[in-house]
């Protein structure tokens, strides 16, 4: 068995993309995986693949989060690794951005992190080998034109992770944030479709334009991000806390 044998890993947004890849990476090291997501069929498929358990949950609803955390804890015991990954995106000129879009993005990308961290930390505090990892974006490290609500939410995610890292540094757990550039996920597929419609371009052209925004000229893979998350969960990363790990092919260098 691997270094995570018998450990309990909770992953929000676990039905696809980075969440699913992280579930595979941690399960391969022996972790018992609990998957949260809004789409039962998606998280159930990943749970079947990884030997984990699926808990349908909308992260913007505190009551359903509390129920899902309790159910996962009852099934697999206290949490050892908590990966808060669920997120949404949108793009529009700032002056045309609707308040409803702002509210939805902040609720999913930031307020849900507050709730998730509060619900997870009682299991994590007091153990130097327990981990809280937040998935943000390079948009949390620099400005993002036509995506002000998204960038604001991701800046907030970075600030939350760093603040928790300082607050809990003496007692554990570690708290870190990963900041990928454009990743080849269903969220990017949605962005590709929006760009293609707005610019009257093919989806291949729209996808290439997003890849070109990463300095290495390609989309990051979910597996690359999952490997970074697994590293932050590894026992050897005990002294890594408060880090904002850019996985961006040099985009923010």
**SS3 of 182, please?**
coil
Q: Are 56 and 37 in contact (CB under 8 A)?
A: yes
The candidate with the shortest Cα–Cα distance to 99, out of 60, 65, 148, is 148
Provide φ and ψ at 105, rounded to 5°: -70, -45
Catalytic residues: 150
> From CA 46, how far away is CA 37, in angstroms rounded?
11
Q: If 0-12 CB within 10 Å is exposed, 13-18 middle and 19+ buried, where does residue 93 land?
A: exposed
Residues written for the chain: 253
Cis peptide leading into residue 173 (ω within 30°): yes
> From CA 186, how far away is CA 242, in angstroms rounded?
28
| Cα 228 from chain centre | 12
């Amino acid at each position: 068995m691997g270094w995570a044998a018998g450990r309990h890993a909770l992953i929000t947004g676990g039905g696809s993309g980075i969440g699913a890849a992280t579930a595979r990476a941690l399960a391969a090291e022996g972790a018992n995986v609990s998957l949260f997501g809004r789409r039962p069929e998606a998280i159930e498929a990943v749970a079947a693949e990884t030997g984990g358990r699926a808990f349908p949950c909308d992260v913007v609803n505190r009551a359903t989060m509390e129920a899902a955390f309790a159910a996962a804890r009852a099934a697999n015991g206290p949490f050892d690794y908590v990966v808060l990954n669920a997120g949404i995106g949108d793009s529009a000129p700032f002056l045309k951005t609707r308040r409803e879009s702002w509210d939805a993005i902040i609720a999913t990308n930031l307020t849900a992190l507050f709730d998730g961290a509060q619900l997870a930390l009682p299991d994590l505090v007091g153990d130097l080998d327990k981990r809280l990892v937040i998935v943000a974006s390079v948009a949390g490290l620099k400005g993002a034109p036509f995506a002000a609500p998204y960038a604001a939410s991701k800046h907030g995610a970075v600030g939350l992770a760093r603040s928790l890292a300082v607050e809990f540094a003496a007692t554990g757990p570690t708290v870190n944030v990963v900041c990928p550039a454009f990743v080849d996920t269903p969220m990017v597929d949605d962005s590709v479709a929006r760009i293609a419609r707005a610019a009257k371009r093919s989806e291949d052209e729209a996808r290439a334009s997003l890849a070109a925004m990463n300095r290495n000229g390609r989309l990051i893979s979910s597996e690359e991000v999952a490997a970074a998350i697994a590293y932050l969960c590894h026992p050897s990363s005990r002294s890594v806390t408060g880090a904002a790990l850019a996985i961006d092919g040099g985009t923010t260098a």
